[in-house]
């Protein structure tokens, strides 16, 4: 049974497609009831997997490596272009992916420091040793989610300004296809104020965030339509031309849209996904 109908109705979901393509057997996903969290995920890296890439998604991830001998956990800010992710063959991973632009309040780190960087979970989450140990030892996906929620739900969302919240909501609705002058008209604030406040709340500039959302929206569109015209997609997402779209996609995803479409078909992408 294909997973595509479930996927289609799940709405915008920030993607890490190379995690799915390099998973042994299945990549399990559970949506969160809390809007601050996009979803939880669980997978093992296949023995024959090539390098697992992380791509820009606008999200903070907390990734638990549940290896019995050397367990660890990392807080990962969104990358700003495709780069290698430090993951090991046959290791079991449990991950929490926050919604785009959301910074967890329990992190002892400034928002501006997070993009394109990784931190040891125990270094930036005070008094988290017991939670860490219980999560990596649990291994059962549902149990890990329950433990994470029990420990961290009360401190889930860092307070953001109303202007940043409005911009994030608008950008998501428009798939990142919006200019700074349009944001000025929407919010009533100057470009300088928008830039300063948005970076303070998310760690990114509005332009960087919109570029990420546009590329993520392109990936979602490729997943939903096999007969997709890339020139039409480039136009719909506001790229200046198809060449601009191709350059941006390759920088963010590390391959062309055409090759990406072939990969997800050849590797049976949707049957790897398990929605719970």
How far, CA to CA in Å, does 188 sit from each of 160, 193, 203?
17, 10, 22
The answer, yes or no, to whether residue 2 has pLDDT greater than 90, is no
For the question of whether the overall pTM of this predicted structure is more than 0.85, the answer is yes
pLDDT in tens, 36-94: 999 999 999 998 887 899 999 999 999 999 999 999 999 999 999 999 999 999 899 99
92 DSSP β-pair partners: 44
- The mean of the pLDDT values for the chain is 92
Nearest CA-CA partner of 136 in 90, 70, 77: 70
- Average pLDDT, stretch 222-232? 90
Q: Please report which confidence band the pLDDT of residue 7 belongs to, taking 50, 70 and 90 as the band edges.
A: very low
**Whole-number Å distance between alpha carbons of 165 and 110:** 18
How far, CA to CA in Å, does 144 sit from each of 32, 41, 112, 122, 150?
13, 10, 29, 17, 10
* Cβ partners under 8 Å of residue 190, min gap 6: 184
pLDDT of residue 6: 36
Nearest CA-CA partner of 79 in 171, 262, 211, 179: 211
How far, CA to CA in Å, does 121 sit from each of 35, 55, 110, 114, 197?
22, 20, 14, 13, 26
Residue 125 DSSP SS3: coil
The answer, yes or no, to whether residue 146 has pLDDT greater than 60, is yes
Tokens of 123: 């270094």
**Whole-number Å distance between alpha carbons of 137 and 125:** 18
- Average pLDDT, stretch 7-14? 54
Q: Please report which confidence band the pLDDT of residue 276 belongs to, taking 50, 70 and 90 as the band edges.
A: confident
pLDDT of residue 8: 38
Provide the 10 A C-beta neighbour count for residue 35.
10
The answer, yes or no, to whether residue 1 has pLDDT greater than 50, is no
The answer, yes or no, to whether residue 164 has pLDDT greater than 90, is yes
Helices (H), the chain: 4-8, 17-21, 121-124, 129-138, 141-152, 162-173, 180-187, 191-202, 206-224, 230-236, 242-253, 257-266, 269-272
Tokens of 53: 């890439």
- Average pLDDT, stretch 128-147? 97
pLDDT of residue 227: 86
pLDDT above 90 covers a percentage of the chain that reads 83
Domains, the chain, with CATH or none: 4-157+269-275 (no CATH), 162-265 (1.10.10.60)
pLDDT of residue 90: 87
Q: Is 31 exposed, middle or buried (0-12, 13-18, 19+ CB in 10 A)?
A: middle
pLDDT in tens, 87-107: 999 899 999 999 999 999 999
pLDDT of residue 3: 37
274 DSSP β-pair partners: 28
- DSSP 8-class letter at 58: S
* Cβ partners under 8 Å of residue 160, min gap 6: 101, 103, 201, 202
**Whole-number Å distance between alpha carbons of 249 and 238:** 13
Q: Is 53 exposed, middle or buried (0-12, 13-18, 19+ CB in 10 A)?
A: buried
pLDDT of residue 12: 61
């Amino acid at each position: 049974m294909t997973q595509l109908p479930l996927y289609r109705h799940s709405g915008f979901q920030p993607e890490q497609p190379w995690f799915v393509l390099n998973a042994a057997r299945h990549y399990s996903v559970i949506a969160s009831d809390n809007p601050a969290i996009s979803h939880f995920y669980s997978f093992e890296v296949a023995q024959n997997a090539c390098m697992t890439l992380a791509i820009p998604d606008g999200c903070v991830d907390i990734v638990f490596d549940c290896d019995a001998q050397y367990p660890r956990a990392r807080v990962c800010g969104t990358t700003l272009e495709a780069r290698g992710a430090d993951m090991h063959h046959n290791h079991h991973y449990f991950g929490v992916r926050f919604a785009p632009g959301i910074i967890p309040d329990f992190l002892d780190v400034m928002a501006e420091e997070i993009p394109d960087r990784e931190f040891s979970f125990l270094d930036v989450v005070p008094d988290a040793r017991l939670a860490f140990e219980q999560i990596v030892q649990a291994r059962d996906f549902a149990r890990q989610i329950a433990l994470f929620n029990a420990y961290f739900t009360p401190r889930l969302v860092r307070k953001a300004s109303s202007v940043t919240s409005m911009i994030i909501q608008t950008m998501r609705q428009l798939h990142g296809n919006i200019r700074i002058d349009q944001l000025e008209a929407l919010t009533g604030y100057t470009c300088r104020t928008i830039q300063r406040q948005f970076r303070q709340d998310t760690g990114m500039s509005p332009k960087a965030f919109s570029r990420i959302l546009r590329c993520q929206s392109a990936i979602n569109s490729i997943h939903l339509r096999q007969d997709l015209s890339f020139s039409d997609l480039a136009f719909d997402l506001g790229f200046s031309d198809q060449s601009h779209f191709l350059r941006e996609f390759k920088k963010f995803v590390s391959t062309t849209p055409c090759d990406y479409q072939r990969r997800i078909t050849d590797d049976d992408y949707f049957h790897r996904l398990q929605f719970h």
